[in-house]
């Protein structure tokens, strides 16, 4: 017997994790074609990267554009994959009309904005009722800056703090069986973590229908530390809600690193990335009772939102599958244990 990993001996990731949690990928209109095979081989859940965001679905008050989102929903159905919804209420990728006044006034009032929010949520959640099993209802409502709790946004300014509770109530009304998540990034930094916990606890105290916390997981090969990740999972789990990793990627660059000279990742980067993936997936497996899904924000290194962001002219290689859709060292670390 040979130890060599033959082409046909590549295990499917979702199958490997069948007793643990779902393995998801963010997809877009293009990658459901260009990555179709690798998606089918390794993933049993998908999330639309952009196609279900407010500005793409609802560019004008009386115009909904569902074609691209529908394509992704059909892709999930054809491949027997679960579908997560992303995202209903967010300060980005949201059209200006939503916050504009009705009669030429500069800004909508609370009542108008709540009515528009409710109409949007009812239409979108209603359309995919029974197919989208979980929604990121509110995305990134917490402020990163120290000492400030909620992010300053048009939603907060016009409606007030209860826009968050209202969003969950509207989503629950539209599909009472959908699981409703609060989703955020930098979720393992202790101060932001505690602000997220304060928000979720206050929602629970008010009886708001919230069922889970989405940890985006935009991490890199240095940060956050494994200890901070573990503490975050433990503290969030104490709230009694389900947890999901919703947007996992592992940048090969440290946050401060601005270099743009690389055409491929260095051997050292790949090794460090493999160790990091190994340790975080070991942790995820230990928390399988609360962690129900791990979604990568992409599938393979040929496409990632981190190409050219936040550093222009720089490619990134944040996944466990390479640009040819083949396993990287990190893949083998998480696929066999
Ligand atoms: C996420 N934000 C969003 O949830 C997702 O919808 C988008 O496609 C990519 C990342 C994370 C983020 C950001 O957009 C900007 C700065 C920091 C973090």
The finding on whether 189 has its CB within 6 A of some atom of ligand 1 is no
Exposed/middle/buried for residue 276 (C-beta within 10 Å: 0-12, 13-18, 19+): buried
Q: Whose CA is nearest to atom 9 of ligand 1?
A: 305
Active-site residue list: 140, 247
Question: Cis ω on the peptide bond leading into residue 191 (within 30° of 0)?
Answer: no
> What's the pLDDT at 91?
98
Q: Determine the distance separating the centroid of ligand 1 and the alpha carbon of 139, expressed in angstroms.
A: 9
The finding on whether 185 has its CB within 6 A of some atom of ligand 1 is yes
Q: Quick one: which H or E segment has residue 34?
A: helix 31-34
Q: Determine the distance separating the centroid of ligand 1 and the alpha carbon of 103, expressed in angstroms.
A: 33
Best probe residue, ligand 1, of 144, 218, 246 (max atoms within 8 Å of C-beta): 218
Q: Which two structure tokens, joined as six digits, stand for 325? A: 């859709």
- Tens of pLDDT along the chain (337 residues) come to 444 544 458 999 999 999 999 999 999 999 999 999 999 999 999 999 999 999 999 999 999 999 999 999 999 999 999 999 999 999 999 999 999 998 878 899 999 999 999 999 999 999 999 999 999 999 999 999 999 999 999 999 999 999 999 999 999 999 999 999 999 999 999 999 999 999 999 999 999 999 999 999 999 999 999 999 999 999 999 999 999 999 999 999 999 999 999 999 999 999 999 999 999 999 999 999 999 999 999 999 999 999 999 999 999 999 999 999 999 999 999 999 9
> What's the pLDDT at 8?
59
Sign (positive or negative) of CA dihedral 42, 47, 48, 50: negative
> What's the pLDDT at 2?
45
Enter the pTM of the model: 0.96
Q: Determine the distance separating the centroid of ligand 1 and the alpha carbon of 247, expressed in angstroms.
A: 9
Three-class SS state of 169: helix
Count other Cβ atoms within 10 Å, centred on residue 83.
20
Cα dihedral 151/157/159/160 (nearest 10): 60
Question: Reduced to 3 DSSP states, what percent helix, strand and coil does the chain have, rounded to the nearest 5?
Answer: 40, 20, 45
> What's the pLDDT at 102?
81
Pairwise CA distance, residues 299 & 325, whole Å: 8
């Amino acid at each position: 017997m040979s130890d060599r990993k033959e082409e046909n001996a590549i295990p499917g990731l979702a199958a490997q994790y069948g007793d643990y949690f779902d393995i998801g990928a963010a997809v877009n209109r293009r990658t459901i074609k260009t990555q179709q095979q690798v998606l089918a081989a390794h993933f049993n859940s998908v999330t639309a990267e952009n196609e279900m965001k407010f500005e793409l679905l609802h560019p004008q008050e009386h115009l909904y554009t569902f074609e691209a989102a529908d394509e992704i929903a059909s892709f999930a159905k054809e491949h027997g994959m679960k579908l997560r919804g992303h995202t209903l209420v967010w300060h980005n990728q949201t059209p200006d009309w939503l916050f504009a006044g009705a009669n030429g006034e500069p800004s909508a009032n609370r009542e108008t904005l709540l009515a528009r929010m409710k109409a949007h949520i009812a239409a979108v959640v209603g359309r995919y009722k029974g197919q989208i099993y979980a929604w990121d209802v509110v995305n990134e409502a917490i402020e990163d800056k120290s000492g400030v709790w909620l992010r300053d946004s048009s939603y907060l300014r016009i409606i007030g703090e209860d826009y968050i509770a209202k969003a969950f109530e509207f989503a629950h009304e539209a599909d009472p069986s959908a699981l409703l998540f609060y989703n955020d990034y930098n979720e393992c930094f202790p101060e932001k973590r505690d602000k997220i916990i304060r928000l979720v606890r206050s929602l629970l105290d008010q009886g708001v229908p919230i069922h889970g916390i989405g940890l985006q997981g935009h991490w890199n090969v240095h940060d956050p530390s494994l200890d901070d990740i573990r503490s975050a999972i433990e503290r969030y789990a104490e709230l009694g809600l389900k947890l999901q990793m919703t947007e996992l990627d592992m940048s090969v660059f440290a946050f401060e690193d601005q270099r743009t000279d690389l055409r491929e990742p260095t051997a050292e980067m790949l090794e460090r990335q493999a160790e990091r993936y190994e340790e975080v997936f070991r942790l995820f497996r230990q928390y399988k009772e609360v962690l129900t899904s791990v979604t990568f924000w992409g599938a393979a290194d040929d496409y990632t939102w981190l190409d050219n962001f936040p550093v222009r002219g720089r490619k990134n290689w944040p996944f466990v599958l390479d640009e040819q859709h083949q396993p990287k060292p990190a893949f083998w670390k998480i696929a066999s244990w």
